Amino acid sequence: MITIWELVYRLTVDVLGIWKPYVFPSPIEVFKTFKHLLSNNILIVAIIASMQRIIIGYLISLILGIVLGLVIVRYKYIDENVSALILGIQTLPSICWLPFAVLWFGLNDSAILFVTTIGSTFAITIAIQSGIKNVNPLYIRAAKTMGANGLNIYWNVIMPASLPTIVSGMKQGWSFAWRALMAGEMLFATVGLGQVLIVGRDVADISQVVAVMIVIILLGLLVDKLIFGKIEANIRYRWGLNSN
């Protein structure tokens, strides 16, 4: 694939001259830029900054999302009044919260953290809610006849039974958070992957832009496949949901 890429580059940029070099990067250039960004630490610093933000943002959204979800399930009154609102808000792309966040927090990291957290929080809340509501009542009845009650049922039956739904909500929340973070960083972060991307644009260095894009994709994939992929595979195995 990289060979084809290089060939296309040679053909269109060098030979035919259809595209200017700042429009279409060569893989060799991208790789060189990548090494350069690594050697002067820009990339590492950016990755660390972005990872720090996403981990903090995601953890906050996890805690908020779970608490909010549990409260909604527990209190019918809140459920009736808040659930529709949350579903509505959820259709709003996280980055649309940015102007709101800027007015609240100013042009700083807190605003970025806010947009990172908000979409993910609601995705997790909704997953908790629908996961718990869809637990097969037979499991709860069975648990009751075996002497489980109150918190025991919650902990030993309702939570594990709704885990498949909750984990896919967590995964969705993660991807919302990651996208919102990148968008936020591109707008006004002083450090971070999104910011390096924007610098690439400012200096018209397409190689840098593509190199950073690749890093963003790889990081996203890594978390998606390695962490959530593993958890989901484990759940699917236990429940017998694998096709093979």
Partner 1 sequence: MGLIIENISKKFISKHNQMHALEEVNLNINDGEFICIVGPSGCGKSTLLNVVAGLEKSCEGRVCLNGNVINGAGPDRAVMFQESALFPWIKVIDNVEFGMKMAGVPREERRNRALKYLKMVHLTKFQNSYIHELSGGMKQRVALARALTLDSKVLLMDEPFAALDSQTKTILQIELQQIWWETKKTIIFITHNVEEAVLLADRVIVMSANPGKIKKEFNIQLARPRKFESVDLTYLVADIMKELISEVEKVAKFEYDSDWNMEADTILSDIDNNLGAGL
Footprint on this chain of partner 1 (rule: CB under 8 A): 138-139, 141-148, 152, 156-157, 160-161, 163, 235, 237-240
Q: Among residues 20 and 141, whose Cβ is nearest to partner 1?
A: 141
CB of 152 to partner 1, least distance (A): 6
CB of 144 to partner 1, least distance (A): 4
Q: Among residues 144 and 201, whose Cβ is nearest to partner 1?
A: 144
CB of 222 to partner 1, least distance (A): 27
3-class SS of residue 40 = coil
CB of 237 to partner 1, least distance (A): 8
The tokens describing 205, both together, are 């260095």
- Distance between CA 59 and CA 74 in Å, rounded? 22
- Distance between CA 50 and CA 48 in Å, rounded? 5
- Residue 92 C-alpha from the chain's centroid: 15
CB of 217 to partner 1, least distance (A): 33
- Distance between CA 116 and CA 152 in Å, rounded? 34
Q: Among residues 17 and 137, whose Cβ is nearest to partner 1?
A: 137
Q: Among residues 45 and 135, whose Cβ is nearest to partner 1?
A: 135
- Classify residue 14 by burial, with Cβ atoms within 10 Å: 0-12, 13-18, 19+: exposed
Q: Among residues 104 and 237, whose Cβ is nearest to partner 1?
A: 237
Q: Are 173 and 123 in contact (CB under 8 A)?
A: yes
Q: Among residues 142 and 227, whose Cβ is nearest to partner 1?
A: 142
- Distance between CA 242 and CA 233 in Å, rounded? 8
Torsion of CA 168, 94, 193, 219, to 10 degrees: 10
CB of 229 to partner 1, least distance (A): 19
The residue among 71, 56, 48, 61 whose CA lies nearest residue 172 is 61
